[in-house]
Amino acid sequence: QVLVGNLIGEDHANYVLMYNMLTGIRIAVSRCGAKIQKALTPEDFRARHKYSFDIVGNELTPSAKYDFKFKDYSPWVFRYLREEIFHIDPADYLLSLTAKYILSELGSPGKSGSFFYFSRDYRFIIKTIRHSEHKFLLSILKDYYEYVRDNPHTLLSRFYGLHRVKLPRGRKIHFVIMNNLFPPHKDVHETYDLKGSTVGRLYPEDKAAKNPRAVLKDLNWINRGKILELGPEKRALITEQLRRDAEFLKSVDVMDYSLLVGIHNMQRGNKDNVRKNTLKVFSPDIPSSRRPKHHSAPHHTPTGPKSPEAKAMRRAIHSSDPQRATVHLPDESPTAPEGAPFVFYQDEGGLRATNEANEGQDVIYYLGVIDILTPFSWVKKMESFWKGLKSDRHKISPVPPTEYGDRFFSFMKAIMRGGEGGERFKEDNGKE
């Protein structure tokens, strides 16, 4: 396990790692991006590009401050994911990741020991992952690619890159780059990480009262009597998307993922500045001649009744039959000049709460399905075995993927307005 327990910032080893990761990304991504677009081939899924950096430099890699090796996995596939599917502007991507280093600890790292780093403008997250997660992502990359291509409104984590840094003494660090679900420009007043499991899924309320950034869990949600306030239209769309996403995750045999829910209260606005003091900014050592010029990259997307997305959403709603037996999500990848107005990220980067009359409420939700790289492997089977001895096997979190996905989806339906409610779910699925 890498980097467990180190506070990011003063730790020099992490600075070197950051420098290496960002230098590698800068070179590898711009190299692929400089080539002319082409159609993806099966080989692109197997491709690996290796770079070797040192203080001298060579024709492929400019000189760097440290010696390290960098490996770029399936660069063309990720370029497609970024540009064609998720509508990330290539220049923004590079600029935001490599113009300045911003590190944040994002609470204490989870059990997995993964580290999270934010890009300069807070749009992207670098997450270090285990070797097993890395191998797993590569093994499902084709399925993932096809799934998100066909379901552009997916709530699944958006992967923009998969890389590896190898340090001189042989330590290998794997990492992915993904979307930050939370907005750069808004406070998130409450955060929940929901799995649809009730065992061990309580963050102590007394601690929560002292920490506005605490990541709360399923039982906090249920005990507080929260609901995801969405009117019939948005509820139908998100239910259908979550159903598909859970089916996909079942099909690739993963488990342990969660729905991350960030809640922004528009009346409270940004006056608490929850995020202040959590970010540490480092200036990198990029020669100023190479440093790209700053230009504003508007994060928010055009919304309102006339935005293309609002139209797509209306089309989607009106094409669904009255019984809502099937809900049609817009299938083509949305096109937009600036950013992409995906259905669930259309209101200031999130999804605005609505009442039964579909009128907007003073709350914006930031939602996504995260931590989707844990296959039901030997490790989890063992964990399931040991935990299963102590409590009811169905209530604990490491259950097989089919059961996990079904339970996840029924919980998500239960927490929405008009759903059966969290309490009911708790009764059906056991108490804490």
Question: Measured between alpha carbons, how far is 142 from 77 in angstroms, rounded to an integer?
Answer: 9
101 Rama class: left (phi>0) / alpha (psi -120 to 50) / beta: beta
Contact pick of 104, 112, 251, 265 for Ca ion (by CB under 5 A): 112
Contact pick of 180, 239, 241, 429 for ligand ATP (by CB under 6 A): 180
Contact pick of 179, 303, 333, 377 for ligand ATP (by CB under 6 A): 179
Question: Measured between alpha carbons, how far is 199 from 340 in angstroms, rounded to an integer?
Answer: 38
Question: Measured between alpha carbons, how far is 260 from 372 in angstroms, rounded to an integer?
Answer: 12
Of the CA atoms within 13 Å of residue 213, those in its CB half-sphere come to 15
Residue whose CB is nearest to ligand ATP in the complex, by number: 110
Answer with the entry of ligand ATP, Ca ion, none that 260 interacts with (C-beta below 5 to 8 A by kind): ligand ATP
- Dig out the tokens for 385 from the structure: 């075995």
Locus of tokens 């169905």:
394
Site string for ligand ATP, 363-382 (x = CB under 6 A): -----x-xx-----------
Output 191 or 198, the one with its CB closest to ligand ATP.
Answer: 191
> In whole angstroms, how close is the CB of 192 to Ca ion at the nearest point?
12
Site string for Ca ion, 358-377 (x = CB under 5 A): -------------x------
Output 68 or 192, the one with its CB closest to ligand ATP.
Answer: 192
- Dig out the tokens for 151 from the structure: 């379901």
Residue 286: which residues within 8 A CB-CB, separation 6 or more?
Answer: 98, 99
> In whole angstroms, how close is the CB of 156 to ligand ATP at the nearest point?
10
> In whole angstroms, how close is the CB of 133 to ligand ATP at the nearest point?
8
Contact pick of 106, 219, 236, 255 for ligand ATP (by CB under 6 A): 106
- Dig out the tokens for 191 from the structure: 């955060």
| Residue 110 binds to ligand ATP (criterion: CB under 6 A) | yes
Count of residues near Ca ion by CB under 5 A: 2
User: Among positive and negative, which fits the CA dihedral 85, 105, 261, 92?
Assistant: negative
The H or E element that residue 263 is part of is: strand 258-265
Site string for ligand ATP, 181-220 (x = CB under 6 A): xx--------x-x---------------------x-----
How far, in Å, are 75, 389, 397 from residue 183 at the CA level? 27, 42, 29
Output 98 or 374, the one with its CB closest to ligand ATP.
Answer: 374
Output 31 or 130, the one with its CB closest to ligand ATP.
Answer: 130
Per-residue b or e along 293-326, where b marks 16 or more CB atoms closer than 10 Å to that residue's CB: eeeebebbbbeeeeebbbebbeebbeebeeeeee
Stretch that binds ligand ATP, among 27-35, 110-118, 327-335, 350-358 (CB under 6 A): 110-118
| Residue 345 binds to ligand ATP (criterion: CB under 6 A) | no
Question: Measured between alpha carbons, how far is 179 from 123 in angstroms, rounded to an integer?
Answer: 6
| Residue 218 binds to Ca ion (criterion: CB under 5 A) | no
Output 189 or 417, the one with its CB closest to ligand ATP.
Answer: 189
Q: Which of 60, 55, 272, 43 is nearest to 168 (CA)?
A: 55
Binding positions for Ca ion, rule: CB under 5 A:
112, 371
Binding positions for ligand ATP, rule: CB under 6 A:
106, 109-112, 114, 116, 125, 157, 178-182, 191, 193, 215, 260, 368, 370-371
